[in-house]
Amino acid sequence: MRNIKNLIAAIPLVIFVLGANAAEFEKGEDGGILIPPNAEMLLYSGSINFAMPDGCGFRDAGKAECPAGDMEAQGTAILEGFRNKLEARGWSMENVVRVNVYGVAGEDGELDFSGFNTAFAKFFSREDGGWYPARTFVEVAALFRPELLVEVEILAMKARE
């Protein structure tokens, strides 16, 4: 494992983003951001969240009295969870440079992309000097639980002080 970490640390990394806390990193003429060797990288993979009512837990998922929430509610809950994890480390959502999203169509057969965008806009904005990480949104046939409409993973980076 140590050899893999050393190999990764030796590879120059360019992330193409649309803003994403660029002040910490050198921005290339091509729009990419060069991540310096002293940067820390934090990955959170495949986070889900049943945006269920109070009193409902993970084991209650799928019960009629504990609906999982729509795309916006699930997306908001997931991103709030990431924000809390980052802030506990002394980081912020401004350190997020990459977001991968996997969405499932609802019972009506429609993918609620605008619902996820509404959730996303609560945490990232291009307006008023805000930041907007690079993002990929992919529609998938299903996630591991039928109640889930969205799964999200993020990559955050921060220059070491």
Which H, E and C letters describe the chain, residue by residue? CHHHHHHHHHCCEEEECCCCCHHHCEECCCCEEEECCCEEEEEEEEECCCCCCCCCCHHHCCCCCCCCCCHHHHHHHHHHHHHHHHHHCCCCHHHEEEEEEEECCCCCCCCCHHHHHHHHHCCCCCCCCCCCCEEEEEECCCCCCCCCCEEEEEEEEEECC
What integer best gives the mean pLDDT of the chain? 79
Domain that holds residue 107: 42-159
The total number of structural domains in the chain stands at 1
Provide, rounded to the nearest whole percent, the portion of the chain with pLDDT above 90: 40
Tell whether 18 is covered by a domain.
no
In single-letter form, the type of residue at position 130 comes to G
Highest mean pLDDT among 7-11, 37-41, 51-55, 148-152: 148-152
Tens-place pLDDT, residues 86-119: 999 999 998 998 899 999 998 899 999 999 999 9
Tell whether 70 is covered by a domain.
yes
Tell whether 89 is covered by a domain.
yes
Tell whether 23 is covered by a domain.
no
Question: Is 123's pLDDT higher than 60?
Answer: yes
Tell whether 15 is covered by a domain.
no
Q: pLDDT band for position 21 (50/70/90)?
A: very low
CATH code of the domain in which 125 resides: 3.30.1330.40
pTM for the whole thing? 0.76
Tell whether 34 is covered by a domain.
no
Provide, rounded to the nearest whole percent, the portion of the chain with pLDDT above 70: 78
Tell whether 148 is covered by a domain.
yes
